[in-house]
């Protein structure tokens, strides 16, 4: 990891700590909703492995942004576990934010009115 990347990660960790959300950013977070896919790529000609029908295993990170825009990024085999952790961190962060929103909704709901005693007694 380069020095600018380390500084950026440190700033992100500090901002996250300030919100009180406990998410491990050791591995990073994928921005937007993402999926890690495994695909088989086959060459049209000239590749003995593809000619046998085996093909080549590749990993692709598909990230969907608001508005429906989608991006696909190739992921090297040695980084698949790391990207998987990033996706887990994103899901944990999203769950934490949703939990905070639910708590805020509870706080905004009015208290139920209590019945006053002192009505007519027969």
pLDDT tens digit sequence for 15-36: 666 666 655 555 455 555 688 9
Residue 59 · residue 37 · CB < 8 Å: yes
Higher pLDDT, 82 or 22: 82
Residue 97 pLDDT greater than 90, yes or no? no
Residue 92 pLDDT greater than 90, yes or no? no
Distance, in Å, from the CA atom of 63 to the CA atom of 67, rounded to the nearest integer, reads 12
Residue 60 pLDDT greater than 90, yes or no? yes
Confidence of residue 44 (pLDDT cuts 50, 70, 90): confident
Q: pLDDT value at position 113?
A: 73
Residue 77 pLDDT greater than 90, yes or no? yes
CA 111 → CA 14, 106, 107, 108, 119, distances in Å?
36, 10, 9, 9, 21
Q: pLDDT value at position 74?
A: 93
What residue spans define the domains of the chain? 39-75, 77-109
Q: Is 86 exposed, middle or buried (0-12, 13-18, 19+ CB in 10 A)?
A: buried
Q: Report the 10 Å Cβ neighbour count for 93.
A: 19
């Amino acid at each position: 990891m380069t020095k600018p990347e380390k500084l950026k990660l440190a700033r992100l960790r500090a901002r996250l700590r300030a919100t009180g959300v406990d998410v491990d950013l050791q591995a990073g977070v994928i921005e937007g909703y993402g999926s890690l896919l495994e695909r088989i790529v086959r060459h049209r000609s000239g590749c003995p492995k593809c000619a046998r029908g085996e093909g080549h295993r590749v990993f692709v990170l598909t990230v969907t942004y608001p508005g429906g825009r989608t991006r696909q990024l190739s992921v090297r085999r040695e980084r698949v576990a790391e990207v998987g952790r990033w996706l887990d961190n994103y899901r944990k962060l999203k769950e934490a934010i949703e939990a905070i929103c639910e708590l805020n909704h509870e706080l905004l709901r009015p208290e139920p009115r209590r019945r006053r005693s002192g009505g007519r007694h027969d």
